[in-house]
Structure 1
């Protein structure tokens, strides 16, 4: 690219003009590729665009079809504007905007109509003064309520429409005689536009904000698990390859996945806010505990911040001595492995909405690994090693301990979510392969034994989990070998 620019500069304006068609073609090709990639990444975007087109076409009939136009007139344009403003990507966002706009228009129109009649009581000279005073008071109070966090999060759009509608009805009522008919037509067309958006959004390939939040939280937990799964091998692999001089900082893509979790707060809160507006659908019934997802997401971000600190040790040029790293290798790797398995089990439980009890053994094993690591660190400190050499591994151990505590807290919240959301009991088919216990093959032997009393015995010995259980049964008949 730089060579082409240099060539064009040397050729002057004529060369630039000749290269213009080629450059234009390249830009068009790149634009088409980016649009194609955008649609391939999430095909729902294409469907959303088609849904908006369908909704706009339907409300346009208020203008195109003569009987409807005779009934609503130019007020039909409010239906078109409502579709453009209200229709959002998810059902929850569309419902939120549609209901906010509808109730705000209704309440503001009623108040504006009342303000108009109240102002008329003060005569021709006092009417504009009273109207101006009422507009000032309601606009000031409504604008101030937009700073309240709860209203800002859920009803900000409704408050904005309330201010707009009340001001328009109050001010226009001073010059318009048929104020009631005007307000009625606008409210009707806005209701038609909002209803069209809601019906199309729900009935045609709906995109549920609650389902997206559900998948996002599970995906974030899985990203943390992937990092912990690879950290032990990556960090201590570096220590093994240090003397051989091999480059251990090659492909570390799995170490970067957790970074998207750090910035997921706004997305999660937005999804949770819209999910509250959505009706029950699929596995998510009315009153689903969306607040629990926000709590789990907050803990996942805390864990991600600690992982970010841990990742600094992997990329640091100042590493602990090889000998000290090898001493904490076993307990640290075990801690990471068990925490990773616990997080994967929790993510799988959220995805499938099944009982997350499979994560409990791994959480307990990670606690045991913490105690083992503490013993190792105490042993190292008693050996009177160099303090500067101990600090890096002590920092890693402290961070791993905090991560394990975060995993434990996440596990508790997921269990609470499973109770509130009524997750189904886990069955064998829903347990992830990495958490399935291997089937034990029982090895046994049958030996005929002669006792002093000339009675026949059979000793059956069963070997399972390094334990032997011997059962001695008496039979009245001698055993028949070969059966």
Structure 2
């Protein structure tokens, strides 16, 4: 009987362990499914946010899908496939690598790919013909030497000459100017030369092989360009144009916020934490990377809209540099203002503080008006209204401030306020340079005098 009870006890324990194991597995499975669901929801939310931030990204994705669908037809049509053979897949691969967000970027990469393939194909065929002169045993050795020469680090001067391109292709990618503009072309050159040169040892008709590769790549580039330009084109020039105007708007917004929150008679420079106007300059400081990427691609784009041939795109980079310098001074000013609001000053300095505040108010107000006028001139592509009145009033206020500070013996007691005024004076100098740069852009780009266009933009902004 004791043995029977022991047996039942062991069986019961086994059942308990089994139920526990099943429960643990079920719990782990539900936990894994919940994590998978959360990941899916988070990923979907991220995609939705990206689409809301810039709906053109959705359009770009659809355009890539359309281009791939069109180029895949060439692979499915028997007549075309028989003519190109397995090289047809290079048309599909080309679309994947060449299709970019903007027209300029697609055109740049497409032409680089075509030219690099053409030059590398000619050189590879020449290398094959030269290697054949060495006989059956010497041919692979010489071909290997040619391939090695393409990949080695050559002299920097050699890559500047087309006839010496095969001696330093890889090394050229380390040169900043080449990497910034021609890196993709150099990479395709290395790839094409190596493939054609190596394949020449086994391929009977090398000319046909090189021709198939070039024509399929040209077809892929053509489909990419047609899709990019004809289906809801996204122009790098438009983005660069809007970026410049937006940066000036943000600089003006900062100065308007300073005038309203810090320099008015009833303002106390109270709690400024979290104020939006103290943060807008940061996006201007971070605009260099986007600006430098858009400008080269804008130069590749054909005539479109109001952007004519040989449009002065480089002037936007100069204007962007000046805007970032001004934003840098604003960053220092924001820090001083945040420090100033916690400082206390003796009564003897109260009059001087009020005078400095009034002067800073005038400088901020008139400088902001000048920037608003310049930011309105760029999107309307009209000559900016003369800002001499606002700038002269701001300059006069700065001059009066320097005179007041130079003769007041209590300057050391209000050093923080004096620093704020000094930084505003520096910002004023930067705005004068921005004004000159914008005027140069308007002159070089031949902006028009159009009251109607400016009025329409003002109405849109108010709406």
- The normalised TM-score by structure 1 is 0.81
Measure, in 1, the Cα distance between the counterparts of 2:390 and 2:452: 18
1:84: how far off? 0.4
Tell me which residue corresponds to 1:319.
343
8 Å contact from structure 2 (residues 107, 300) kept in 1: yes
Tell me which residue corresponds to 1:441.
none
Measure, in 1, the Cα distance between the counterparts of 2:242 and 2:102: 14
8 Å contact from structure 2 (residues 264, 361) kept in 1: no
Measure, in 2, the Cα distance between the counterparts of 1:75 and 1:166: 16
Q: How does 1:361-372 map to 2 (within 5 A)?
A: 361-372=389-400
- SS across alignment from 1:356: coil
1:250: how far off? 5.3
Q: Deviations over 1:10-52 (max 9, x none)?
A: x998766555555544443333232222212211111111100
2:308 is equivalent to residue 281 of structure 1 = no
| Structure 2 counterpart of 1:59, from 41, 60, 71 | 71
Tell me which residue corresponds to 1:257.
280
| Structure 2 counterpart of 1:385, from 373, 394, 410 | 410
Measure, in 1, the Cα distance between the counterparts of 2:424 and 2:411: 22
1:253: how far off? 1.2
Tell me which residue corresponds to 2:54.
42
| Structure 1 counterpart of 2:432, from 400, 405, 408 | 408
What RMSD over aligned residues (CA atoms) do the two structures have, in Å? 2.3
Measure, in 2, the Cα distance between the counterparts of 1:115 and 1:21: 59
2:331 is equivalent to residue 308 of structure 1 = yes
1:237: how far off? 6.1
Equivalenced residue count is 416
Q: Evaluate the alpha carbon distance shift between residue 136 and residue 31 of structure 1 in structure 2; reply closer, same or farther with a 3 A threshold.
A: closer
Structure with higher Rg: it is 1
| Structure 2 counterpart of 1:97, from 83, 87, 109 | 109
1:138: how far off? 3.0
1:225: how far off? 0.6
Q: Deviations over 1:151-190 (max 9, x none)?
A: 2222110011001111111111122222111111111100
| Structure 1 counterpart of 2:271, from 248, 272, 283 | 248
1:90: how far off? 0.3
Q: Deviations over 1:48-70 (max 9, x none)?
A: 11100110011101221112111
Measure, in 1, the Cα distance between the counterparts of 2:105 and 2:318: 21
Q: Evaluate the alpha carbon distance shift between residue 255 and residue 114 of structure 1 in structure 2; reply closer, same or farther with a 3 A threshold.
A: same
Q: Evaluate the alpha carbon distance shift between residue 179 and residue 251 of structure 1 in structure 2; reply closer, same or farther with a 3 A threshold.
A: same
Q: How does 1:184-223 map to 2 (within 5 A)?
A: 184-223=211-250
| Structure 2 counterpart of 1:125, from 133, 137, 159 | 137
2:161 is equivalent to residue 153 of structure 1 = no
1:76: how far off? 0.6
8 Å contact from structure 2 (residues 405, 411) kept in 1: no
User: For structure 1, which runs of at least 5 residues remain unmatched after alignment?
Assistant: 1-10, 435-483
Q: Deviations over 1:118-147 (max 9, x none)?
A: 111122232223222222223331122223
8 Å contact from structure 2 (residues 240, 291) kept in 1: yes
Measure, in 1, the Cα distance between the counterparts of 2:357 and 2:75: 74
2:314 is equivalent to residue 291 of structure 1 = yes
Measure, in 1, the Cα distance between the counterparts of 2:294 and 2:403: 45
Measure, in 2, the Cα distance between the counterparts of 1:12 and 1:404: 70
Q: Evaluate the alpha carbon distance shift between residue 145 and residue 24 of structure 1 in structure 2; reply closer, same or farther with a 3 A threshold.
A: closer
Tell me which residue corresponds to 1:394.
418
Tell me which residue corresponds to 2:290.
267
2:192 is equivalent to residue 165 of structure 1 = yes
8 Å contact from structure 1 (residues 237, 248) kept in 2: no
Tell me which residue corresponds to 1:355.
383
Q: Evaluate the alpha carbon distance shift between residue 12 and residue 219 of structure 1 in structure 2; reply closer, same or farther with a 3 A threshold.
A: farther
Measure, in 2, the Cα distance between the counterparts of 1:221 and 1:369: 22
2:432 is equivalent to residue 420 of structure 1 = no
2:366 is equivalent to residue 341 of structure 1 = no
Tell me which residue corresponds to 2:89.
77
1:319: how far off? 3.0
Q: Evaluate the alpha carbon distance shift between residue 124 and residue 15 of structure 1 in structure 2; reply closer, same or farther with a 3 A threshold.
A: closer
- The normalised TM-score by structure 2 is 0.85
1:314: how far off? 2.1
Q: Deviations over 1:199-220 (max 9, x none)?
A: 0000000000011000001101
Measure, in 1, the Cα distance between the counterparts of 2:135 and 2:256: 79
Q: Deviations over 1:93-115 (max 9, x none)?
A: 00011000000000000000001
Deviates further, 157-166 or 365-374: 365-374
1:378: how far off? 2.1
Q: Which has the higher contact order (CA 8 A, sep 6+)?
A: 2
- SS across alignment from 2:291: helix
Deviates further, 254-263 or 358-367: 358-367
Q: Evaluate the alpha carbon distance shift between residue 238 and residue 305 of structure 1 in structure 2; reply closer, same or farther with a 3 A threshold.
A: farther
Measure, in 1, the Cα distance between the counterparts of 2:145 and 2:40: 56
Measure, in 1, the Cα distance between the counterparts of 2:32 and 2:126: 64
